Structure 1
């Protein structure tokens, strides 16, 4: 999946598939991989394609150049004073962020450097995140007079309420270790170990039943928005249905027989 904007010969989004892993790389390095409308449309198209591709077992989102993602394209935002334009932009961004939770494959953010504003939102909306020790995170719209309302949705569902609000009203950066402590990222490694750590996480996912992961991801996000009783009802039904799947029988039989399971996604 590729798309084009101000650099007509340069794709703004790169896709590479290898070994069941689809890597989407934001490719606007001169604009710090900001989320222009064209970039958001390209990402939505790529995610839709991946959702239908059963050969893809995991998705990695990365950034080219000095930044992972610096948020929305401020120049594009200032190009229009029409409310309808900005409503369209933020709805498009919200649509993309929701798709990250809706596709069946786990999505991993590979954060090598700064992730600010909607870039921090992107990290928060990925299922998992692996960060370099060089990475830094902020929801910094407040510094230019713009409260990061849409980034607050994902941020507040990852970190504690008071920690999220402090980031939103100060615009201050936190480093990768602090982001990990707060629950925004899963793993933090030295820069030269980032790719290897992402590969290790992907390998662990790929070793599991693809059907169980699909069912589990769908249930996980649904139950988060439910009351406790409804969440248990959904989880119970999901586990019962999962037990009827061939992969579950194979996995349990393999465990009892002390052998490696051979999952078939059925």
Structure 2
């Protein structure tokens, strides 16, 4: 069923930037401004951030799929909004700092969301739109999907998309995208590690939802612990990472569902999860 509480209420004349539909524990979020190329405008970022904040507190949501309407997944920042502040007294510095702060907070919220996030990409994902894909835990791309960090082409290096990109692909692949600003086709994006799977055009959403159902069928104890641990240990040195992961895994072993899962294997039966 639809969950109207999961998206900011639209005004009388303005449709929502992001729609949210929750079914069987899976929240499907849709960027719904195709006429604006689903750019990460102030309104879009606010809507998506608020929706994610509500999902983070919803224990009924076990996985999230992020998709978009139209031929463009997301074109990145709204350049018209950016340019409109060039005439500010400080030439836009205060505004630029604030909008980048909001964007960084949005990307961080995706990484820190308790539930796994899967992007379903059809068409183009550029600049901060590509950053959105790189920030997700998993990504499925339609065969015609294309990715680009084109800032260098307009005198604006993609500094903040670089943060997510360099945490997902090899450094030389990241530098190639950032320095050349050229399109990367779906198959190449998969080879580079930016996306997990390339599927038939038009089927990215269905495949992403299938992956979400697979995740949702598991106990949420290891899924949520595992996601948080993955990103925390990745920023540590090797010895610290092993110490930290060992402590978390010890805690995980003491959970009821770990006892149930191991008992189910030994008894050759299906486990009965209680998410605790």
Shorter-chain TM range is over 0.9
**Equivalent residue, structure 2, for 1:252:** 262
Distance 1:190 1:165 in 2: 28
3-state secondary structure, aligned to 2:14: coil
TM-score, normalization by structure 1: 0.97
Q: Is the 8 A contact 1:158 1:183 kept in 2?
A: yes
3-state secondary structure, aligned to 1:44: helix
1:73 counterpart = 2:78: yes
**Equivalent residue, structure 2, for 1:149:** 159
Structure 1: unaligned runs, 5 residues or longer: none
1:83 to 76, 93, 98: 93
Q: Please report how far the alpha carbon of residue 3 of structure 1 lies from its aligned counterpart in structure 2 after TM superposition.
A: 4.2
The number of residues matched between the two structures is: 266
**Equivalent residue, structure 1, for 2:42:** 37
Distance 2:171 2:11 in 1: 39
3-state secondary structure, aligned to 1:68: strand
**Equivalent residue, structure 1, for 2:68:** 63
**Equivalent residue, structure 1, for 2:108:** 98
3-state secondary structure, aligned to 1:191: coil
Q: Is the 8 A contact 1:58 1:107 kept in 2?
A: yes
Q: Please report how far the alpha carbon of residue 226 of structure 1 lies from its aligned counterpart in structure 2 after TM superposition.
A: 0.5
Q: Please report how far the alpha carbon of residue 220 of structure 1 lies from its aligned counterpart in structure 2 after TM superposition.
A: 0.7
Residues 1-266 of structure 1 correspond to what in structure 2 (within 5 A)? 1-3=6-8, 8-81=13-86, 82-266=92-276
Distance 2:181 2:145 in 1: 16
Distance 2:259 2:202 in 1: 40
Structure 2: unaligned runs, 5 residues or longer: 1-5, 87-91
Deviations 1:237-257 (CA, angstroms, capped at 9, x unpaired): 011000110100111111111
CA pair 4-147 structure 1, distance change in 2 beyond 3 A:
farther
TM-score, normalization by structure 2: 0.93
Distance 1:192 1:152 in 2: 28
Deviations 1:21-64 (CA, angstroms, capped at 9, x unpaired): 01111111011100001111111111110000000000111111
Distance 1:222 1:99 in 2: 14
Distance 1:32 1:153 in 2: 23
**Equivalent residue, structure 1, for 2:3:** none
Q: Please report how far the alpha carbon of residue 193 of structure 1 lies from its aligned counterpart in structure 2 after TM superposition.
A: 3.0
